[in-house]
Amino acid sequence: MRTLLPLLIIALTSFILTNCSMEPSYQSWAEREFQSGVQNDSLFLGYYFGMPRQEFRDHSFEMNRQGLMTGLVNIEYQFEDLGNRATKIFYPEFNDDIITRIPVQISYNAWAPWNEDTWPENLMNDLKDYFEDIYGGRFRMVYVPDIERRALVMIQGNREIRLYRHSENSVMADFRDLNFFIPEKEDES
């Protein structure tokens, strides 16, 4: 019995330390923000959550006509607000013919393996600062179960923005409407 007690204490302590964290989990944070009832639909370039597909097409066509962006299936936009020129490549996802998500692949145009200023880690930091200024929230580094990785995440009501390394030269900025992407509840077992 005496030899089992220390093993039991170690196992219990280990379980508590790995399963109990002072920082709320991604799921509980997302659920709390979503339950707040705050509705943030504005995104970028005049796009917004709930934008009908035809309005998206008309808006994109007009911006294309003005020379502000190019593309049909993958829209490319030259982004100059970060200090270094970057390219955004995106196309929204629709649910019931309205925008519910826009995954945006972003990379610095001057990227090169020897140019550390343009590496994805630096781009992600620049995007974090930029989006915090634009949207007024703060990012947290959290583990996101559905993408199975840590990401910088900002959640404001229904609007979630995830930033994570996408490739050796790009970052994914994933804009998601939590009205359509409600995080799964944590397993209580």
3 state DSSP class of 100: strand
Q: State the total domains in the chain.
A: 1
Q: DSSP letters along 59-86, please?
A: HHHHHHHTTSEE-SSSEEEEE-TTSS-E
pLDDT tens digits, one per residue of 73-100:
899 999 888 888 999 999 999 999 999 9
| Domain annotation covers residue 7 | no
Residues of the chain with pLDDT > 90: what percent?
Answer: 70
- Structure confidence at residue 161 as a pLDDT band (50, 70, 90): very high
pLDDT of residue 83: 80
| pLDDT tens string 41-81 | 999 999 999 999 999 999 999 999 999 999 878 999 998 88
**82 falls within a domain:** yes
Average pLDDT over the chain, rounded to an integer: 87
Instruction: Using the CB atoms, write b or e for 5-40: b if 16+ within 10 Å.
Output: eeeeeeeeeeeeeeeeeeeeebbebbbebbeeeeeb
Alpha helices in the chain (DSSP H): 4-19, 26-35, 53-65, 120-135
Structural domain contains residue 5: no
Q: Would you say 183 and 157 are in contact if contact means Cβ atoms under 8 Å apart?
A: no
In a domain, residue 150? The reply is: yes
Is residue 81, in this structure, part of any structural domain at all?
yes
Residue range 131-160, pLDDT digits in tens: 999 999 999 999 999 899 999 999 999 999
Q: Is the pLDDT of residue 18 over 70?
A: no
Q: Which amino acid is at 180?
A: F
Write out the two tokens for 157. 């009501």
The pLDDT of residue 72: 76
Residue 116 lies in a domain: yes
pLDDT at 120: 93
Mean pLDDT of 95-113: 95
Provide the residue range defining the domain that includes 146: 26-177
Q: Is residue 50 in some structural domain?
A: yes
Reference 175, options 125, 118, 135, 142; nearest CA is 135
Q: Is 39 domain-assigned? A: yes
Contact 32, 24 (CB under 8 A): yes
Quick count: other Cβ atoms within 10 Å of Cβ 65? 9
More confident position, 2 or 22: 2
